[in-house]
Amino acid sequence: MNSNECPLSTALKPLRGKWEPVIIKFLSIYGNSGYNEIYNRMDNITPKALTEALKILDHEGIINRITVSEKPHRVIYRLSEKGIAMIQPLNEIESINGNIKSPVTKTK
C-alpha cells in the first residue's frame, strides 16, 4: 500500500504543518476566535504562517470561516464537526510527550 492509498496518511494530511494542530488546539480551548485573537495568543507564529494554516484548515473542512457583517467586517474561525472530532486524538498525542509547553499561551 502506498501512502496515497493509506487512510491514516489521508487523515493526517491536513495536520502536516507545524501550526495546523496548534490552531485546532487553540480553537478547542478558546472557542470561536478572530484572526488577531489567534495571532496574539500564539507564540512564534508569523502572520503569513497563520494565514496559510487557516486556509489549509478551512479548505480541509476542519474549521469554518465566518464573515460577520459589522463595520469593519470581521472574520471568525471556529472548529467544524470534523475539527471537533480531532480534539480527542490530538489530546492523546499531546499527552504522549508529557508536559511540553504549549505555544498557545502568549499574551502580547
CATH number of 56's domain: 1.10.10.10
Q: Is the pLDDT of residue 70 over 80?
A: no
User: How far is Cα 12 from Cα 16, in angstroms, rounded to an integer?
Assistant: 7
What pLDDT does 105 receive? 55
Domain, as residue range, for 39: 10-93
Q: Which of 23, 105, 8, 19 is nearest to 63 (CA)?
A: 23
With bands split at pLDDT 50, 70 and 90, how would you rate the model's confidence at 14? confident
Would 48 be classed as within a structural domain? Answer: yes
pLDDT in tens, 28-69: 999 999 999 999 999 899 999 999 999 999 999 999 999 988
Which comes out higher in pLDDT, residue 21 or 9?
21
- Least confident piece of the model among 10-19, 35-44, 62-71, 78-87: 10-19
Q: Which of 70, 68, 60, 57 is nearest to 28 (CA)?
A: 57
Written as nine digits, the cell of 69 is 457583517
Q: What's the mean pLDDT when you consider all of the chain?
A: 86
Written as nine digits, the cell of 79 is 472548529
Written as nine digits, the cell of 35 is 484572526
What pLDDT does 62 receive? 95
Would 67 be classed as within a structural domain? Answer: yes
Would 58 be classed as within a structural domain? Answer: yes
Give the side-chain half-sphere CA count within 13 A for 34: 8
What pLDDT does 3 receive? 57
Domain count, the chain: 1
